[in-house]
Amino acid sequence: MLRVMIAIALMFASLCAPMRADAADPVLLDLSNAELVAAALRDAGYKAEIKTYPNGEKYIDSAVNGQGFSVNLDNCEAGKCVALQFTSWWKAEPLFTPALANEWNHNRRFLRVSLDKQGNLVEWLDFSVAGKLTKENFADVIDWYAAMDAELNKFLEEKRNAAKTGGAKK
C-alpha cells in the first residue's frame, strides 16, 4: 500500500513540475471521440474495437491483463466528449457484497468498484480529456488502470481463497 501511495505522489509531483525550456514539445492527443480514442489505444499497443450500445452511444472494446474492458465516452456534446471511463465487470458471486466494495474503495483513490443491480462487480476509472492529453499521460493512465486492475484481481483471489478456507484474510 505504501508503494502505491508513493507512486501516486510521484505521479502528481511530475504533473505539477514545471517543464524544462529545452524539453521536446509533447505530443498532444485529442481524445474527444471514439475514433480518436481507439486510434490512441492501438498506438499504445492495445486492441480497440469501436462498438455501439443499444442507445446509440459508441464505446471502445479493449483488453488488459487478459480481460476485456470498455472505454466509455462521457460528457459529450455535439460529438465532442470531455471525459473517459475505463470499466470492466465480473459476474455476480456470493463474495461480491457492499462490504467487499467498501473495503476495496476505502484504500484506493482512483480505481473504484461497486455492485450493479444484478450483483455484478463493476470497476471503473474516470478521467478528464478536456483540453487534450499528452501521449505520455494517456499511456500512463492506461498503465495505471492495468496495474490497479491486476491489484483488484489479486484482492479478489485472496478473498475467494479466504472464503474457501473459512478465513477472513484482509
- Per-residue pLDDT tens over the stretch 43-63: 999 999 999 999 999 999 999
Helices 135-165, 34-43: crossing angle, 10 deg rounding? 80
- Print burial letters for 108-131: b (CB count within 10 Å at least 16), e (below 16): beebbbbbeeeeebebbbebebee
Mean pLDDT (whole number) for 93-116: 95
pLDDT of residue 21: 45
pLDDT of residue 79: 85
Strand-pair partners of 41: none
Evaluate if residue 72 carries a pLDDT over 90: yes
Evaluate if residue 142 carries a pLDDT over 80: yes
What is the band of 161 on the pLDDT scale with cuts at 50, 70, 90?
very high
- pLDDT over 70 for what percent of the chain? 84
- Interacting residues of 33 by C-beta distance below 8 A, sequence separation 6+: 58, 73, 79, 80, 81
Higher pLDDT pick, 86 / 167 = 86
